[in-house]
Amino acid sequence: MRRLSWPALLAASLLLAACGKEVPKLAPAPLEVSTVTVKPGDVDVSREFVAQTQSSQAVNIQARVSGFLDKRVYTEGSVVKAGQALFRMDPKPFQAQLDAANAALQRNQAAMTVAKQNLDRTKPLAAKNALSQKDLDDAQGQYEQAAAAVEQSKAQVESAKLDLSYTVITSPVNGVSSFAAVADGTYLSPQNSQLTTVSVLSPMWVNFSLSENEYLRVQNEVRDGRLRLPPDRSMTVEIVQPDGSLFQFKGKITFADPNYNPQTGTFLIRATVDNPKGVLRPNQYVRARLRGAVRPGALLIPQRAVQQGGKGHFVWLVDKEGKAQLRPVIVGDWYGDSWFVTDGLQAGDQLVVDGAQRLSQGAAVIVTSRDGQPVARPAPAAASAPTAKS
């Protein structure tokens, strides 16, 4: 049997000793994250509602006299001016009535002239007792009857003039016209006197509804100091058009229905906005954006920093020791790409906004960006060279 030399035995013993030791585990490398500093501040807030436009004055154009409609003299759907003719009726019958009323007036004026002359002759004769008091009374009565007939004829002439003027049907307001409800040549009577509608375009009403729950929520937030309204509660209303663009003019709330609608559970709110170019049309669906309210001392954080688990919403913070800490929060309304936080955060907290998906409680982190500014990393410590032992 071959014996091992002493150097070989020493090498074997050292190898066996090394195999019996455990290799130390390396600590995980710190995770890189980006943070923002939680800062409270006053934030202007707005609310959007589905709304519908309404003409501030929609006038029904109706025939005021009975007769045949000669012609429609406007373009259906066009913008018309106040005083512009829309329809013309056959004026000949009304002109004849006016001529007859003028003739009756002339006849009664002539009769009054004769009665006046007769009265003037009777008065001095009655004063000399040449005529009786009865003759004077009869002359006075005839004159007064003739004068009354003249006044009646004058009224009939004015009425005939009005009827004649009503044969030209005009628009009383500036606005956009609707279609003609009757055709040319139709006989107009009280049963079919509706001709068209003219809707005023400026100002335009914008109606939207506020739910009872929303109304109570706003009242509670104002009471608790979490929402501040303008001193006179004069909210500015912006109109968002169907294509998403913002309407040029802003409006004001001019009416709030004091009655609650039990069928819809809402209150009607009306805003008035200038519409000089007629861009908005009646019964158009838009969005009404209310501005003027402020959330004082609000905490606003990016939405991407908020995560949701089985127990609700939570965020990750970086403590003073550079460790990740999970913090439950209570969130409120959305605001653009951010979220209002009503509980769980304090001013000065370092909130993780990027890199939070890989974090665990107490994990070491390296902040590479704070409040949008890059953070310089500390230089790594230089490794010391091993010293040889004698």
Q: What is the SS3 string spanning the chain? A: CCCCCHHHHHHHHHHHHHHCCCCCCCCCCCEEEEEEECCCEEEEEEEEEEEEEEECCEEEEECCCCEEEEEECCCCCCEECCCCEEEEECCHHHHHHHHHHHHHHHHHHHHHHHHHHHHHHHHHHHHCCCCCHHHHHHHHHHHHHHHHHHHHHHHHHHHHHHHHHCCEEECCCCEEECCCCCCCCCEECHHHCEEEEEECCCCEEEEEEEEHHHHHHHHHHHHCCCCECCCCCCCEEEEECCCCCECCCCEEEEEECCCCECCCCEEEEEEEECCCCCCCCCCCEEEEEEEEEEEEEEEEEEHHHCEEECCEEEEEEECCCCEEEEEECEEEEEECCEEEEEECCCCCCEEEEECHHHCCCCCEEEEEEECCEECCCCCCCCCCCCCCCC
Q: Provide CB contacts within 8 A for 126, sequence distance 6+.
A: 132, 133, 135, 136
Residues 191, 66 share a domain: yes
Residues 193, 106 share a domain: no
What is the pLDDT at residue 337? Answer: 86
The dihedral over CA atoms of 276, 281, 283, 284, expressed in degrees to the nearest 10, equals -110
**Number of residues written out for the chain:** 390
What is the pLDDT at residue 189? Answer: 94
Name the domain boundary from 295, 319, 342. Answer: 295
Residue 73 maps to which CATH number?
A: 2.40.50.100
In a domain, 69, yes or no: yes
Residues 186, 83 share a domain: yes
Cα separation values, 285 from 123, 263, 272, Å = 79, 21, 15
| Residues 62-101: tens digit of each pLDDT | 999 999 999 999 999 999 999 999 999 999 999 999 999 9
What is the pLDDT at residue 280? Answer: 94
What is the pLDDT at residue 26? Answer: 58
Residues 69, 188 share a domain: yes
Residues 269, 174 share a domain: no
In a domain, 389, yes or no: no
Strand partners, 293: 45
| Residues 15-48: tens digit of each pLDDT | 545 555 555 555 667 888 889 999 999 888 888 9
In a domain, 18, yes or no: no
One-letter amino acid identity for 245? S
What is the pLDDT at residue 163? Answer: 95
Residues 179, 135 share a domain: no
In the sheet that holds 58-62, the strands lie side by side as 58-62, 194-199, 175-177, 79-80
What is the pLDDT at residue 71? Answer: 95
What is the pLDDT at residue 174? Answer: 94
Residue 325 maps to which CATH number?
A: 2.40.420.20
Query: Do 75 and 212 contact (CB within 8 A), yes or no?
Result: no
Task: List average pLDDT for each run of 10 residues in the chain, which is 390 residues long.
Answer: 49 52 62 89 90 95 95 94 96 96 96 93 88 89 94 96 96 94 94 95 94 88 88 89 93 91 90 94 94 90 89 90 91 85 90 87 87 72 47
176 closest CA partner among 266, 272, 79, 287: 79
**226: domain range?**
45-56+201-295
What is the pLDDT at residue 156? Answer: 96
Output the six-digit token pair for 131.
């005529």
Place of tokens 């500015």: 236
**C-alpha span between 114 and 180 (Å, rounded):** 53
Residues 136, 175 share a domain: no
What is the pLDDT at residue 360? Answer: 87
**C-alpha span between 315 and 306 (Å, rounded):** 5
Query: Do 187 and 90 contact (CB within 8 A), yes or no?
Result: no
Number of structural domains (the chain) is: 4
In a domain, 259, yes or no: yes
